[in-house]
């Protein structure tokens, strides 16, 4: 099972304060679907349905690396998945 790190602003509203959640899923999309099944509202917070991609202000990281394939990124059995604010450098 992959470990998902729940962003702090969502913990109260969605996961009853849980910081980490273990879910099944072989891709980021499957992980999000599994999350949404347990914590409804996850999908709409992460996925931009119009373009079928991660919403623009959010970056998804798998095992510490920002996914460049977005929803399609593979997730391993022991992977960690994070949803972070998207950011830039100078």
* Residues lying near another protein in the complex (CB under 8 A): 5, 7-11, 19, 45, 55-58, 61, 63-69, 73, 80, 82-90
Among left, alpha and beta (phi > 0; psi -120 to 50; other), residue 66 is beta
CB of 1 to another protein, least distance (A): 16
Q: Which H or E run contains 20?
A: strand 20-23
Residue with tokens 């969502």, as numbered in its chain: 10
Q: Which is nearer to another protein, 10 or 30 (CB)?
A: 10
Count of helix runs (H) and strand runs (E) in the chain: 3, 7
CB of 49 to another protein, least distance (A): 13
Q: Which is nearer to another protein, 28 or 34 (CB)?
A: 28
Q: Which is nearer to another protein, 77 or 87 (CB)?
A: 87
């Amino acid at each position: 099972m992959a470990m998902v790190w729940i962003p702090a602003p969502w913990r109260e509203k969605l996961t009853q304060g849980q910081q980490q959640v273990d879910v099944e899923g072989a891709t980021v999309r499957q992980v999000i679907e599994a999350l949404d099944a347990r914590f409804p509202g996850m999908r709409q917070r992460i996925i931009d349905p119009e373009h079928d991609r991660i919403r623009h202000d959010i970056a998804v990281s798998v095992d510490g690396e920002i996914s460049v394939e977005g929803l399609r990124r593979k997730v391993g059995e022991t992977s960690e998945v994070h949803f972070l604010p998207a950011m830039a450098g100078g």
